[in-house]
Amino acid sequence: MKSFLRVVVPIGIIMAMVGIGSYLTQNTSRSKTTIDVPIEDDVTVTTQGPPLTFVTEDIDVEQRGPIEVEQGSKNHKDYWFYTTQSQDVNVGVLYTSCTCSKLQLGSFDLTQEEVDQLEKSPTLTLLCKAAGAVRFEDLPDARMNQYAKVRASPKDRSPRPHILRVHFEAKEAGADPGTSKLLSFKISAAIEHGTPSTFSQEFGFQVVPGVAIFPVNIDLGELTAGGAVHQDVYVWSVTREQLHPRMILTSTRGRNDPEPCAEFTEPTPLSPSELAELPRLFGPEYGRVKPKGASRFRLILHERRGEHQLDIGPLNRQVIVKFDTPEGQKPLSEVRANVTAVVRGDVRVLSGDENGRVQLGSFRYDRGKTVLIRVGTTRSDLEIEYDGVSDEGVVVSPLSPPKQEGINRVWDLHVQIKPNVFLGEVRQTVFLRTKGPNSRRLRIPLIGSADR
């Protein structure tokens, strides 16, 4: 136990000093136990004791779970070790499972007297010097007979701490929130002219987006004259504690022109207790997600706001959230949520679905498609007129004179999808407008599929 404390306690203190930020605190292999280098069955070791001794975690990897790393980020995981050999130890890479990884050897540029002093009396000055004295070099390929040297430990003196650093890049996020990847590696270690032994290890990591939004599909339901609807929206991250979002709702004029009938409340950071509740709020598929930071805001959509008023008919927009990131941090990508609603008014589509959309079905690309659209109102004094189409490939016949059908005043118009114009999914829009001083536009979406 005494020899163990002589080695592990100084290493543990230096680890705390070297672990700038939270990464090493979470992902550096350290604990109150030591393990010898695992030796393959067919290898005979001729050294006195293992060439390297690693300081490792006593928590099972499966219980601890994979490391969560941000998509597109460069990361590392550290394994701390020392040697008690009286000769230098040659160390090299035998294998890594991913081309996205690279191994380095970290050594501390300290005199033996300073190493001994760390054991006896680890002063703040000496600890700070040790933290700044670590130097890393790429670990050579042992299969090419190339090695880095770990300096020998003089007899009856304190062993030097070293770091085996595994660099890896998080290239893309998995579709399943619970999916993780394994990175495995193997190194060779031996004293000069000694028989090599190997150290094999693997760890799991899960590539996650830097930030996400919930819900990703927002259905605001029906919006009636003079009314407003709202939805609480969350942006959250498993890698960052602070988020600084800026939100817009796109308009019919494009994504860079915010919808004037929409407003957002000020984003509010979630408390620790609220963060803990988020996975339950999001649903069972998020059960393993552990957010580090999140903000909540409310989207409020008005049928009329000031001088602006929404078109009558189905509404399909996007909430776009961008983020201000502090200097020195990797910028976060924007996130989006789809927003749907149905704006009700004095005019409605009688020949469409419940949301006012006209279904074209499937039709031949070279033949086009013609449909009859009927619109109506219960107001006897209301007049409507044609106001355009979304594409020249859509041709609209003149509106028929209105006729009374029960309580409805009804207009008919024939709409043609020209042949040889649209191929594949068809999503176009016909626009009508009410006449008079308080004119409103009616959007009539056309949805279908043109096949060869």
Question: What's residue 59's pLDDT?
Answer: 36
Query: For position 1, what pLDDT does the model report?
Result: 34
Q: Where are the beta strands (DSSP E) in 273-406?
A: 293-302, 304-305, 308-309, 313-323, 335-343, 347-349, 358-364, 369-377, 384-389, 394-396, 403-405
Least confident of 30-44, 110-124, 177-191, 365-379: 30-44
Which H or E element spans position 114? Answer: helix 112-120
Nearest to 201 by CA among 302, 93, 288, 128: 93
pLDDT at position 41: 43
- Tell me which of 26-35, 208-217, 266-275 is least confident: 26-35
Instruction: Grade residue 176 by pLDDT with cuts at 50, 70 and 90.
Output: low
One fold for 212-343 and 347-451: yes
Weakest mean pLDDT among 47-61, 119-133, 358-372: 47-61
Regarding the domain with residue range 212-343, which homologous superfamily does it belong to in the CATH classification?
A: Immunoglobulins (2.60.40.10)
- Evaluated on CA atoms 252, 255, 257, 263, the torsion sign reads positive
Q: What percent of the chain has pLDDT over 70?
A: 85
Per-residue pLDDT band for 277 (boundaries 50, 70, 90) equals very high
Asked if the model's pLDDT at residue 262 lies above 90, the reply is: yes
Q: Give the pLDDT score at 26.
A: 34
pLDDT score of 6 more than 50: no
pLDDT of residue 42 exceeding 50: no
Confidence category of residue 25, pLDDT binned at 50, 70, 90: very low
- pLDDT attached to residue 174: 57
Mean pLDDT of the chain, nearest integer:
84
pLDDT score at 56: 62
Angle between helical axes of 112-120 and 124-132 (0-180°, round to 10)? 130
Angstrom distance (rounded) from CA 149 to CA 135: 13
CATH number of 347-451: 2.60.40.10
What is the pLDDT averaged over residues 48-65?
A: 64
**Is residue 73 over pLDDT 90?**
no
The average pLDDT across 158-180 equals 76
User: How confident is the model over 290-316, as pLDDT tens digits?
Assistant: 899 999 999 999 999 999 999 999 999
Q: What is the pLDDT of residues 233-257, one digit of tens each?
A: 999 998 899 999 999 999 988 777 8
Q: What is the pLDDT of residue 139?
A: 95
Predicted confidence at residue 65, as pLDDT, reads 66
Q: How confident is the model at residue 171 (pLDDT cuts 50, 70, 90)?
A: confident
Average pLDDT over residues 11-18: 51
The answer on pLDDT for 27 being more than 60 is no
Sequence ranges of the domains in the chain: 2-207, 212-343, 347-451
403: pLDDT confidence band, cut at 50, 70 and 90?
Answer: very high
Mean pLDDT of 139-146: 93
Give 47's pLDDT tier (boundaries 50, 70, 90): low
Name the pTM for this structure.
0.69
pLDDT at 125: 75
The residues with which 217 forms a beta bridge, in sequence order, are: 338
Q: Which of 274, 219, 268, 218 is nearest to 242 (CA)?
A: 268
CATH of domain 2-207: 2.60.40.10
